[in-house]
Structure 1
């Protein structure tokens, strides 16, 4: 086997090796990576609903509590119906307060 190419272009060889390793990792974690966009909006809706309507905290406190590194693109707090909708990364989820004993639940 001729390793002359590696000796002549070591940076390119390392770059190609890193790309191959990255692609292998992405393939192995494809299910988790595919689910990631849903997690952002579902977490925000559910946790805000719980913070606001189960724990009865003020809205500004709960906004800060659910703030994440990945921003959400849309947020709606329907206070009269105790329903929270959050959108982010192309996905949208709604959580609704069911009662004192049940708390909040994501709606299908």
Structure 2
């Protein structure tokens, strides 16, 4: 009886191993894009928040809600005096600064 149950469960185990191997293969192929992903998140958040805050002149609380991501950000800093927003997330950090009325915000290199 117990031997029979083992045989029944085994195909699922095999399927999970195949899926894991496929996933690892995909991660290896996409490693450059995946490595850039944390940078994209913090850069996007910094630029969107900067635009919301200084181009659209919305209040900080509204803009925080506007740029809230599924992925965690840390080290969020809104320097009102220099109109510079710095966002850290997943080990990377990016800044966006308000340039002017016509140019809006730009990412710092």
**TM-score bucket (shorter structure):** 0.7 to 0.9
Which 5+ residue runs of structure 1 have no aligned equivalent? 1-5
The CA deviation at 1:82 is 0.5
Which 5+ residue runs of structure 2 have no aligned equivalent? 1-6
Alignment of 1:1-108 (within 5 A): 9-108=10-109
Could you say what the CA RMSD is over the residues aligned between the two structures, in angstroms? 1.8
Equivalent-residue separation in structure 2 for 1:10 and 1:75 (angstroms): 47
- After TM superposition, the score normalised by the length of structure 2 is 0.86
- After TM superposition, the score normalised by the length of structure 1 is 0.87
The CA deviation at 1:11 is 2.8
Q: Is the deviation greater in 67-76 or in 14-23? A: 14-23
